[in-house]
Amino acid sequence: MADIQYTIYPMDGLGHYFEVELLILHPNPFGQKIQMPNWIPGSYMTRDFSKHILSIHAFGQDQHQALKEPLHLLQTNSDTWEIEAVQGPVIIKTKVYAFDNSVRTAFLDTERGFLNFSSVCLQVVGQTQKPIDCVIEQTALTRGWEVVTTLPSVKIDKHGFGKYTVAQYDALIDHPVSMGRFVKISWNSYGIPHQIVFQGTAENLNLPLLKADLKAICDTHIAFFDPNHHVTPFNQYIFHVNVVGNGYGGLEHRASTALICKRSDLPYAAQSPQAEDLKAYQDFLGLCSHEYFHSWMVKKVQPLAFQPYRLNQRNYTKLLWLFEGFTSYYDDLQLLRSARIDLKTYLKRLLDTHHQVMRNPGRHHQSVAQSSFDAWTKYYLMDENTPNAVVSYYAKGSLIAFALDLLIRDFSNQTKSLDDVMRAVWQEHGAYGDQVGVGLTENGFDKMITKSLGSSFRPLWIGFKAAYIDGTQDIDVVELLQSTGIALTPKKLTIAEKLQQSLGLRIQSQDGFVKVTHVLESYLGQQAGLCPNDLIVALNHEKVSVTNFSHLLARHCHQKVKLSIFRGDLLHHLTLQLPSQSALQEERMNSYLLAND
Ligand SMILES: [Zn+2]
């Protein structure tokens, strides 16, 4: 029996809580500390999981494993408790609320359960390196349910309830658990068992298509990192999918990923998909591809700054442009290479990413290195000023990978590519099983570039990095594509669309009027005095809504118009000078299409 054992009871589907017992066989005799993590690796935001502990009690245990008198627990901060000094084993009983329907925490209702152990299991301070047994118990709630997890099992029943074991706490929190009823698909990729399991209503899915697509993607990734032997860093892999009406996201783990997607993102058996559905399904496959790539890149190859993860403080690295951005580059590229999308679709997706980066002025103020470092307070805590202040290390990071790939191909006369660098990084910094690789220092990628491409590439890399990674220079995707012979043409926008762009406002409908959510710096909207949260109710005495706003603007080109707005509960009037049609014609917009499309 391991020194540390967690027993999880999925107890109350109506009150949404798990009961968790933590048995510590050898507590620190001078007083054992226990602590809830306050973030989960892969999602760089302080989440204070301890806030969902409904009750916590500690007890001694006698030699017959019966509970003794309650022990005194001193809470020393939001996450930490200290158990009074005691000889012999102790048991800590907690009730933990779980009703977050995301991939990052835990959830329990009468139909399903999902948990990341970082949301429900206290760390035993000073003993987090020790092996752990974890028992998932059947309760009245879970009759007819099944447990799906990549946790290594010791003794489980046919439904997956029972005892599991892991080498240490870090491993425990890297194997999420789904419970309930599932639609499942299984396949082997290079001999390794893979599964995708769907929860939520997911009837009539096109299972053969999903299986063929996912197998092709997984095969491509495995062959990418190990073209000769096809050895994977895991010995099984599970995609946990929570299917909902509206939602999108994923979180990577060492042998699995937890995904959330819209029901309409998935393919159905009795339906020939429309273009819109196809795009949504490609996005879903892109998400699967992204999280799967992470099994190598960030779960095994890691920033040194994440070794080990310190779960009660922010862990800072300037390398998320690499770990998230390059992963974003390869997620779509691998869809192309596995023939799940064609070249035209791939290029359209690349142009979408380019547009996504170019539409936010924040790219002039923040580098992707800085954006990585500040992820905790900026990218993950978006607010009304985010488009003016933040660049996405995902989106720009993927464009950086694209530009670097072309640069390497050009430099090497097409004999090398970014693939060679990524494989070299994997060989030098990767690992198998429960190990992680030698951590990548903040300058570690520079060394790998030189090692893979020779010192003659170094000056090019230094200039490239200074401009695009540590600096804020735009990646000119349009020029790069054109240099490879791909013809592009500016997207034709109507006057109304151009006017709306020149205002630099992000809007949404509220109470039938136009609510301003974001005001982009230096655009006409800001110059006219509009602020985030303003409610535009009229333009020259005419009521505005999100449907007529741009048409009303177009009717008043080259004029001064009066905007009536509510700011808070007070009515204001602002004057907005609209540009002329000819000025708009000349304005360069950042939207491009493939020529001949
Ligand atoms: Zn990612």
Residue-wise pLDDT tens digits, 492-544: 888 888 888 899 999 999 999 999 999 999 999 999 999 999 999 999 999 99
Taking the C-alpha atoms of residue 480 and residue 490, their distance in angstroms, rounded to an integer, is 15
Query: Coil, strand, or helix at residue 152?
Result: coil
Cis, peptide link before residue 308, omega less than 30° from 0: yes
For residue 42, the CA-to-ligand 1 centroid distance in Å is 7
> What is the distance between the alpha carbons of residues 188 and 211, in angstroms, rounded to a whole number?
10
How many A from CA of 291 to the centre of ligand 1?
A: 6
252 Cα: distance to centroid of ligand 1 (angstroms): 7
> What rounded mean pLDDT belongs to the chain?
95
**DSSP symbol at 266:** S
Ligand 1 centre to CA of 394 (Å) is: 8
Burial of 269 (0-12, 13-18, 19+ CB in 10 A): exposed
Answer whether 40's CB lies under 8 Å from 126's CB.
no
Residue type, 548: N
**Separation of CA 293 and ligand 1 centre (Å):** 9
Expressed in angstroms and rounded, the spacing between residue 8 Cα and the centre of ligand 1 is: 29
Contacts of 158 by beta carbon, 8 Å cutoff, 6+ apart: none
Cβ atoms < 10 Å from Cβ of 382: 12
449 membership: H or E segment, kind and range:
helix 444-453
> Mind listing the domains of the chain with CATH numbers?
4-180 (2.60.40.3650), 183-291 (1.10.390.10), 306-483 (1.10.390.10), 495-586 (2.30.42.10)
pLDDT digits (tens, 9 = 90+) for 430-463: 999 889 999 999 999 999 999 999 999 999 999 9
Res 272: pLDDT: 74
> 106: CA distance to ligand 1 center in Å?
20
**Over 90: is that where the pLDDT of 292 sits?**
yes
How many Å is the Cα radius of gyration of the chain?
A: 27
**Distance, C-alpha 339 to centroid of its chain:** 24
Nearest 10 degrees: Cα torsion 513, 518, 524, 529 = 80
Cα 524 to middle of ligand 1, angstroms: 35
Query: Are 116 and 100 in contact, with CB atoms under 8 Å apart?
Result: no
What spacing in Å lies between the alpha carbon of 270 and ligand 1's midpoint?
A: 32
Distance, CA 325 to ligand 1 centroid (Å)? 8
Whether residue 585 is predicted with pLDDT greater than 90 in this model: the reply is no
* Residue at 63: amino acid letter: Q
- Residue 38: name the closest of 78, 76, 2 by CA: 78
| CA 256 to ligand 1 centroid distance, Å | 13
CA of 287 to the centre of ligand 1 (A): 9
- The β-bridge relationship of strands 33-35 and 80-83 is antiparallel
Complex-level ipTM beyond the 0.95 threshold: yes
How far apart CA 317 and CA 372 sit, in angstroms, is 6
Q: How far is the CA of 236 from the centre of ligand 1 (A)?
A: 20
Band (pLDDT 50/70/90 cuts) for residue 19 is: very high
Q: How far is the CA of 320 from the centre of ligand 1 (A)?
A: 9
User: How far apart, in whole angstroms, are the C-alpha atoms of residue 1 and residue 140?
Assistant: 27
- Measure 402 CA to ligand 1 centroid, in angstroms: 17
Tell how far the Cα of 345 is from the centroid of ligand 1, in angstroms: 21
pLDDT in tens, 248-263: 999 999 999 999 999 9
371 CA to centre of ligand 1 in angstroms? 15
CA of 324 from ligand 1 middle (Å) equals 5
110-139 confidence digits (pLDDT tens):
999 999 999 999 999 999 999 999 999 999
Distance from residue 478's CA to the centre of ligand 1 (Å): 25
In the prediction, which pLDDT does 173 show?
Answer: 98
